[in-house]
Structure 1
Amino acid sequence: MSVNTFRAALVVDGEYISAWQYWMLERLLASRSVVLVGVIFRKSVTGSCLRKVNTFVLNSLQYIDGKLFKCPVTARVPSSLLPLLGDVDLCEVGSKRYQTLLAGEPLDLAIDLSGQEPLPELMAASKHGVWRYFYGNPACLSDRYANIHEYADRRDEIISGVERCMVGQKIPECIFYATTSTDTVSINRGVERTLWKMADFIPQRLHELAQIGAADFSRNVRERIQPSSHPVRRYASVSPGLFITLRILWRYSNNFLRRLYNALFRNEQWILLTKTTENITDAGMPEHFHKWIPPRDRFWADPFVVEHSGEQYIFFEEMLYARGIGHLACVRLNADGSHSEPITILERPYHLSYPFVFQHQGQYYLIPETAENHTVEVYRCEEFPHRWVFEKNLMEGVEAYDATLLEHDGRWWMFASMRQHQNCSPSEALYLFHADNPLSTEWQAHPQNPVVASAARARPAGRIFRDAGNLYRPSQNCAGVYGRGLNVNLIRQLDLQTYREDVVSSYLPDGEHDMNGMHTLGIGVGISVTDAVHVHRRLGMFDRWMARLT
């Protein structure tokens, strides 16, 4: 047996587990990092009459939500775990087989999916303790109540994560947590994204533990989980009562009226903004800017600034609404702040965006976002800036968004937002890879992946830039809605074992200057370019008054 293979026991309350848990277990066993040596069954805790009524009301709400928005909660579909077990021993708590399991060869860990408090004797028998999931804030141990409080309270993000319980600890230790964007309309969409994303948590953290060892893993946990950002621990009274149910019903009606109003009296369009830049960390601030508004049949987004032969060019995504998929375009920036007519530089039968242009050995290359094609593609420039030819695929069989390269300490690093399941959001988990050459096809995954797991700051938002010896990574804020705002993050540590960053500035337009969002920052010589959602208001000043009122 490999030294990186963990002996684990699984704790469940019955034969059937949720579909997302089945998928987690299937991936874990397929990775060969875990050998399952026993399955322990615990009796379910009988709920009170009030809890049963609340559960019935919640199930009814989610059933109606699934019908209205065509989004049933597939993550909770019951699935028998028996097909995954083979000849694994099954036992009940307190039985002779259970005692034999505890007295036998030591366990490395136990994975508890029962939603109950951990068994003390199992914690004592497991080297790395009992691992279990938690959901929401206030936190609970049952996926039945994921996203209920967040949706009712109009919060932007849903917290979820993994904690481990070990002998001698007064409270469980949070070893990983992530945030998922709430959906402004459907409660079920937030639940689906949260649960399917959680299937990766335990396999990823066990992979990290195996790769870097217990000491470095514990150090990463301490640095990853800051005390100020630790989820609140309250496991009592998390089931929804009548008051929360009424608030959920009110939010449904409120969302419907808001969407109807926007459809009748507003039109939103992505545009570009330019401004002169002095303090580079404030380059994304939407003040003292000049608007570049495209024709109403299209939008412009994802700007990148490239200097060539003493002139500056802006590469960006252009999408014609009638065509439905994006292509890449370019303009030359004039000295007076104006620009040349846009010229299309790259089209494909699938969507293109995020034109990341870089130089290597005197040659220009372009990496567009091609997640729809499940590739990370690189193109070589034959005639700047208009002619680009396909060079190779850096990655295949992946759904990677907004790949961004950085050369640092003799290595090339690739940052990309990725998702492992189609029902997850593509904007909430940042993955990091490294290679010795930017044109390599053998990118090695960072053991901490995902290095950022937050809807508010994971997805890349432009080229990583240097200022005063520091590295800054622009990122998108997609909490609550895609492209809500921009962050600038200071990279504190970047090496083969650890990645750390802190947000140093954040921009959320939220209606200011007739803008409702932004999500990419391009830095040039003395100039910065961003994109923004421009609101065309059909009711003029009355609409602005309504926006302030609401």
Structure 2
Amino acid sequence: MSVSTFRAALIVDGEYISAWQYWMLERLLASRSVVLVGVIFRQPDAFSCQRKMNTALLKVLQYFDGKLFKCPITARVPTNILPLLGDVTLCDAGSKRYQALLADQGLDVAIDLSGQAPLPELLSAAKYGIWRYFYGSPACLSDRYANIHEYADRRDEIISGVERCMAGQDSPECIFSATTSTDMASINRGVERTLWKMADFIPQRLHELALVGEADFFRNVRERIQPAANPIRHYASASPGLSMTLRILLRYPRNFLRKLYNALFRNEQWVLMTKTTANATDAGVQEHFHKWIPPRDRFWADPFVLEHAGEQYIFFEELVYARGIGHLACVRLNADGSHTEPVTILEKPYHLSYPFVFQHQGQYYLIPETAGNHTVEVYRCEEFPHRWVFEKNLMEGVEAYDATLLEHEGRWWMFASMRQHQSCSPSEALYLFHADDPLSTEWQAHPQNPVVASAARARPAGRIFREAGNLYRPSQNCAGVYGRGLNVNLITQLDLQTYHEEMVSSYLPDGEHDMNGMHTLGIGMGVSVTDAVHVHRRLGILDRWMAKLT
């Protein structure tokens, strides 16, 4: 496949940019999609006295947050851009060299990190316009205000993305948006997750444009960007005022009291639940279920159901708290809904979970989650269901979570949640790969990666299943807290150029039946198995009333 190369200009307001922006530029220069032909310097905007005061208060707050939670904001460390540029043309906006750059270089795209209004002459000169980042809703153009409104207002997700400014357009066009889970305790952790993740946005989208071409790229943009994902653009009001800073300060004692109460009077444990079901799309409904509660020294999660020789088996993760890492176990489901004693089937010195079992050419294989080993491993069954031997690594040097395979129209597809930076969450970006064989070591990345960029529905949550001729992908809702809930998504398009899905159902346990969360769905013959967070309440009915009041 031929790959286009774009001529790009970078707009900054000085020699120093944020560390996450520097990392973005490194990734951009290392790609085959972009050649940087010029860097344009602009004078920074002048701040009012009130805005300076608000910014200073926010810096103080974030400094103490960094000390309290041992999480300084490394993403915004000023980093000198000049050593990275080599012989790239440098010029000031409006200078003769700047005019020559616009006239002679044939720019395809301008990447604006200045946070200022677009330069009109640059809008006309760049074929694909000026691309710039936005932060939050209401949106702002400066990374110093990322996660401020979301944390103060107790929102579950932080919106961020890339927008394009074109000559003749009344307002910017959103070409990519993503959400990051808001950390309910620390404002800094949410900022770190958001900014380091944003370093991928522009390099990935320019790579997609280079691979699929202009027509398919902007068609994908229209399908991927939902109207609700476009943030309300009140840039002038996006900077925080004194009242918002005070609201943020009040979050800290409330968070401490909530954490103390939970530690004293509640204990949470992942358990399994089974129920009979005829409609797989409603399998997550929490009615008429039977709980399997493990011993209090461990939890059970990530169930997968497999039928073999007329019997149904459930594979799952078991984690003994004293050991601290998970291993894989299996039980046989009895006709009366009970199960046999769990038997450990795979144990490693690193964490194992999400036992994705599949059959290929009459042989059973198992792909566990082995992100801690930076591999995607596959095991072959030698004696069903208890003996599995290592076959090969499908991928190496990656941090992939919950790899899920699907055979569709003659190809094999791998869905996995991935992250590129350790500060980011592993649950917010779904990557898609394809190969002609499930045991291949040459998996090709989909040009739209990440095909889903949402804390509320990216991470896989079980086997993709077919019903009435349609494909449905279970996904986790990790907005606000890991394992908050479960979604079922209808896959509407899956090919080498485009992936699209629509959420058709969502399950968010809210304390009813003593459950606060779920994140995996297993579908069997007439039965579904899910995991859930079971709440052991030391205060009994008093705690239930307390939960309703708060």
Normalised TM-score (structure 2): 0.99
Report the alpha carbon displacement of residue 236 of structure 1 after superposing the two structures with TM. 1.4
**Aligned partners of 1:285 and 1:456: how far apart in 2?**
18
**Aligned partners of 1:247 and 1:3: how far apart in 2?**
49
Report the alpha carbon displacement of residue 232 of structure 1 after superposing the two structures with TM. 1.6
Give the structure 2 partner of residue 231 of structure 1.
231
Q: How does 1:510-521 map to 2 (within 5 A)?
A: 510-521=510-521
Quick one: which amino acid aligns to residue 358 of structure 1? F
Give the structure 2 partner of residue 292 of structure 1.
292
**Aligned partners of 2:351 and 2:280: how far apart in 1?**
31
CA distances 1:42-91 after superposition (whole Å, capped 9, x unpaired): 00001000000000000001000000000000000000011110011110
CA distances 1:3-43 after superposition (whole Å, capped 9, x unpaired): 61111000000000000000000011011321111100000
Quick one: which amino acid aligns to residue 76 of structure 2? R
Q: What secondary structure does 1:288 align onto?
A: coil
Quick one: which amino acid aligns to residue 25 of structure 1? L
Give the structure 2 partner of residue 457 of structure 1.
457
Quick one: which amino acid aligns to residue 133 of structure 1? Y
**Is the CA contact (8 Å cut-off) linking 2:435 and 2:444 kept in structure 1?**
yes
Give the structure 2 partner of residue 17 of structure 1.
17
Report the alpha carbon displacement of residue 280 of structure 1 after superposing the two structures with TM. 1.2
Quick one: which amino acid aligns to residue 337 of structure 1? G
Q: How does 1:261-340 map to 2 (within 5 A)?
A: 261-340=261-340
**Aligned partners of 1:265 and 1:249: how far apart in 2?**
26
Answering whether residue 438 of structure 2 is matched by residue 407 of structure 1, we say no
Q: How does 1:413-452 map to 2 (within 5 A)?
A: 413-452=413-452
**Aligned partners of 1:112 and 1:219: how far apart in 2?**
24
Report the alpha carbon displacement of residue 504 of structure 1 after superposing the two structures with TM. 0.4
Q: How does 1:5-84 map to 2 (within 5 A)?
A: 5-84=5-84
**Aligned partners of 2:269 and 2:345: how far apart in 1?**
22
**Aligned partners of 1:253 and 1:240: how far apart in 2?**
20
CA distances 1:218-268 after superposition (whole Å, capped 9, x unpaired): 100010112233222221121111111111111111111000000011000
**Aligned partners of 2:484 and 2:83: how far apart in 1?**
43
**Aligned partners of 2:301 and 2:190: how far apart in 1?**
26
**Aligned partners of 1:279 and 1:30: how far apart in 2?**
48
Quick one: which amino acid aligns to residue 264 of structure 2? L
> How well do the aligned residues superpose, as a CA RMSD in angstroms?
0.7
Answering whether residue 137 of structure 2 is matched by residue 137 of structure 1, we say yes
Quick one: which amino acid aligns to residue 451 of structure 2? V
Q: What secondary structure does 1:236 align onto?
A: helix
**Is the CA contact (8 Å cut-off) linking 2:62 and 2:188 kept in structure 1?**
yes
Quick one: which amino acid aligns to residue 537 of structure 2? R
Give the structure 1 partner of residue 178 of structure 2.
178
CA distances 1:510-547 after superposition (whole Å, capped 9, x unpaired): 21110110000000000000000000000001100000
Quick one: which amino acid aligns to residue 23 of structure 1? W
Answering whether residue 112 of structure 2 is matched by residue 112 of structure 1, we say yes
Normalised TM-score (structure 1): 0.99
**Aligned partners of 2:36 and 2:105: how far apart in 1?**
13
Q: How does 1:121-270 map to 2 (within 5 A)?
A: 121-270=121-270
**Is the CA contact (8 Å cut-off) linking 2:429 and 2:452 kept in structure 1?**
yes
**Aligned partners of 1:337 and 1:424: how far apart in 2?**
40
Pick which of 272-281 and 417-426 moved more. Answer: 272-281
**Aligned partners of 2:403 and 2:429: how far apart in 1?**
13
CA distances 1:146-179 after superposition (whole Å, capped 9, x unpaired): 0000000000000000011111111111000000
Answering whether residue 537 of structure 2 is matched by residue 534 of structure 1, we say no
User: Structure 1: which 5+ residue stretches go unaligned?
Assistant: none
Pick which of 24-33 and 53-62 moved more. Answer: 24-33
Report the alpha carbon displacement of residue 369 of structure 1 after superposing the two structures with TM. 0.0
Give the structure 1 partner of residue 467 of structure 2.
467
**Is the CA contact (8 Å cut-off) linking 2:134 and 2:140 kept in structure 1?**
yes
Runs of 4+ residues deviating >3 angstroms: none
Q: What secondary structure does 1:183 align onto?
A: coil
Quick one: which amino acid aligns to residue 217 of structure 2? F
**Aligned partners of 1:47 and 1:75: how far apart in 2?**
22
Report the alpha carbon displacement of residue 278 of structure 1 after superposing the two structures with TM. 1.7
**Aligned partners of 2:95 and 2:228: how far apart in 1?**
43
**Aligned partners of 1:164 and 1:229: how far apart in 2?**
15
Q: What secondary structure does 1:450 align onto?
A: coil
Give the structure 1 partner of residue 545 of structure 2.
545
CA distances 1:342-373 after superposition (whole Å, capped 9, x unpaired): 00000000000000000000000000000000
CA distances 1:299-339 after superposition (whole Å, capped 9, x unpaired): 00000000000000000000000000000000000000000
Give the structure 1 partner of residue 4 of structure 2.
4
Give the structure 2 partner of residue 359 of structure 1.
359
Q: What secondary structure does 2:210 align onto?
A: helix
Q: What secondary structure does 1:536 align onto?
A: strand
Alignment length, in residue pairs?
549
**Aligned partners of 1:492 and 1:230: how far apart in 2?**
22
Report the alpha carbon displacement of residue 183 of structure 1 after superposing the two structures with TM. 0.2
**Aligned partners of 1:327 and 1:396: how far apart in 2?**
20
Q: What secondary structure does 2:237 align onto?
A: coil
Question: What percentage of residue pairs aligned between the two structures are identical?
Answer: 85
